[in-house]
A and B are shown apart, each in its own frame.
Chain A
Amino acid sequence: MSQSYNRGLIEDFGRWREFSAGMWAWVFHKFTGWVLVGYLFTHIAVLSTALAGEAAYTGTIQTLEGLLVVRILEVGLLAVAVFHILNGLRLLMVDLGIGLESQDKSFYASLILTGAITVASVPTFLAGAF
């Protein structure tokens, strides 16, 4: 063989339309996992304002909760967390070898449940934001 041709990564993200359920589950799981890690740092930063005294902490929280963006981000955070937990349970089942033939259905179930819970949370998170 004199020469061959390396086509590189053919199945990159440009082929997202062809991704199957298991692939999407993986992509979303990684994404939500890292969003949660990101939130953890934010969370610590916000909590540590309490080091400067009760008033400072109350002030921070009140300012943040007064912002519409923060309320919307909270809904997003809930969606991300719920999906990560539900799909995490799915992955635990996969690790235990339970119901692997319906792994796609359990992924869709995670998505639908996440959607439902997120929608149901909207009134609580956005109460008094407008």
Chain B
Amino acid sequence: MSTQVPKGEEVESTTDEAASSPGKQRRDTAKADRAGQQEKQREAEERAKANEDTVQIKVFRYDPEVEAKQEPRFDEFHVPFEKGMTVLDSLMYARDHYDPSLTFRHSCRQAICGSDAFFINGSQRLGCKTQLSDLDEPVRIEPLPHQDVVKDLVVDMDHFYEQMHAVEPYFDPDELPDGELEEQRQSRANREKIKMSTRCIWCGACMSSCNIAAGDNQYLGPAAINKAYRFAMDEREGEARKQERLEIIEQEHGVWRCQTQFSCTEVCPKDIPLTEHIQELKREAVKSNLKFW
């Protein structure tokens, strides 16, 4: 099975054999510590085996191409539990051992590709970043809400991507530096300001969690607004471009739809302060429109 986590014992090696060095005592204590830890880990593993060696998952199933599967249903799987196992691991196990037709997107398994956002026990989470041990059983795994289901856990992401592209998510400065090879440097402070906003992995969890986006299909949504923030706040782009960006941001279905429910901020796997960014763009929009002087 490709999904297994390495066992603790493998970490321990036999390097302490040549024993007559001055640091031997220190190493010995360290070794004893490690042995103690190992013992504990082994005990934990044994306890896990005895008590709850399987995890029950309930997975949403739907397949438009097979007549018997056109009516959505939930399938239950009992997956052997391994320490450190994630929801994605359990899905892969179920697919590899029980039902090869079980369909879901995944790639990096380390919370960076953004392809495995699911609705797990009632909230949007990345399968690969969610430990089974943190969840109540049975673990209920559904496709992201408010997006059409293509098959099983796979949803149609087109609309999400359209909204992302609508904010023109690319660096586009007013002026280029003179020399062709000259770098366009950003101040450390400015980089720090946009740092969190650059971390989006386009998983769509935030958009799926948003009540407003569910009711207003044209709403840009938290991810796209955060993307807009990343460029509007980048000082290197210049005032003219920022003005254009603010016009996109403050359109009818832009930032003003946000009702500060904090759902997106709550679910974002990259801990991006989405609501904070949306609120800051609201203030930017007001500032650029209200001029009393």
Within 8 A of A (CB), among B268-293: 273, 275-276, 279-280, 282-283
B 39-92 contacts with A by CB, 8 A? 62, 64-65, 72
> B153: shortest Cβ distance to chain A, in Å?
12
Contact B275 A94 (CB under 8 A): yes
Question: Considering only CB atoms and an 8 Å cut-off, how many residues of chain B contact the other chain?
Answer: 32
Residues of chain B with a CB closer than 8 A to A2's CB: 64-65
- Measured between beta carbons, the chain A residues less than 8 angstroms from B276 are 97, 100
**Does B261 touch A at the CB level, under 8 Å?**
yes
The answer to whether A20 touches B149, judged by C-beta atoms less than 8 angstroms apart, is no
Kindly identify, within residues 9 to 24 of chain A, every residue whose CB is under 8 Å from any CB belonging to chain B.
Answer: 9-11, 15, 17-18, 20-23
Partner of A4, one of B150, B209, B211, B282: B150
A6 within 8 A of B: yes
Question: Which residues of the other chain, A, contact B283 by a CB distance below 8 angstroms?
Answer: 95-97
- The answer to whether B280 and A4 touch across the interface, beta carbons within 8 angstroms, is no
Residue of A nearest to B64 (CB): A3
Minimum C-beta distance from A108 to chain B (A): 13
Q: Nearest-CB distance from A87 to chain B (Å)?
A: 11
CA distance A7 to B263 in the complex (A): 20
Closest residue of chain A to B142 (Cβ to Cβ) is A10
Q: For residue A39, which residues in chain B have a CB less than 8 angstroms away from its CB?
A: none
Q: Contacts A4-B156, A23-B211, A94-B279 known; A18 to B123 CB distance under 8 Å? A: yes
Known: A9-B214, A18-B123, A94-B275. A26 touches B148 (CB 8 A): no
Least distance between B237 CB and chain A CB atoms (Å): 22
In the assembled complex, the Cα of A54 lies from the Cα of B139 at a distance in Å of: 67
Could you say which interface size class chain A belongs to?
Answer: 20 to 34
B234 within 8 A of A: no
Q: Which chain A residue has the least Cβ–Cβ distance from B279?
A: A97
Assembly CA distance A95 to B64 (angstroms): 45
Bound form: Cα–Cα A40–B142 in Å:
44
Q: Is the CB of A5 within 8 A of B211?
A: no
Tell whether, in the assembled complex, residue B261 and residue A22 are in contact, meaning their CB atoms are under 8 Å apart. Answer: yes
| A25–B261 alpha-carbon span in the complex (Å) | 8
Check: A75 CB closer than 8 A to any chain B CB: no
Determine whether A103 belongs to the interface, using a CB cutoff of 8 Å to chain B: yes
Chain B 213-241 interface mask (CB, 8 Å, partner A; 1/0): 01000000000000000000000000000
22 contacts between A and B (CB under 8 A): A3-B64, A5-B64, A5-B148, A7-B148, A10-B146, A11-B146, A18-B123, A20-B263, A22-B262, A22-B263, A22-B265, A22-B266, A22-B275, A25-B261, A26-B259, A26-B260, A94-B275, A95-B282, A97-B276, A97-B279, A100-B276, A103-B275
Chain A interfacial positions (CB closer than 8 Å to B): 1-7, 9-11, 15, 17-18, 20-23, 25-26, 91, 94-97, 100-101, 103-104
